[in-house]
Homo-oligomer: A and B are copies of this chain.
Amino acid sequence: MFAARDRTWKRCRGVTSGISVVYCPHTTAAITINENADPDVVHDMLLWLDRAVPKDQAGFRHGEGNSDSHIKASLVGSSATVLVHGGDLVLWRWQGVYFCEFDGPRHRTVHVKWVRDT
């Protein structure tokens, strides 16, 4: 899991009030918002996910062997919507937007759209 640190992204493309949608176009990765202060939070989250959704399970059929990654992707979700207010993302002190790689390392892309509310 990697936190978004691109300041360009955080400039909100001229949207003063509205929403920003951070979108993952992959099916074995996800986007989430969580604590961006202590990296141990990410460690614990991935530890739990790996235990809760083991890679090999009786009955799994998908030939690529990465069903666990697909399941994690749907549990965490393919996008995060962040509010924009006063020209800034509404991300409080501890919040960061994470790209969650569940089947990497791979070359990945993230898309963002800003929509104003007026």
User: Which residues of A pack against B, CB within 8 Å?
Assistant: 17-19, 21, 23, 25-27, 32-35, 38, 40-41, 43-45, 47-49, 51-53, 57, 59-64, 67, 70-71, 73-85, 90-92, 94-95, 111, 113-117
Contact = CB atoms under 8 A, between A and B. Distances in A.
Contacts of A76: 74-75
Contact of A78 (B63, B80, B94, B117): B80
A117 B113 CA distance: 7
A94 B34 contact: no
A90 B45 contact: no
A63 B40 contact: yes
Nearest to A57: B48
A62 B41 contact: yes
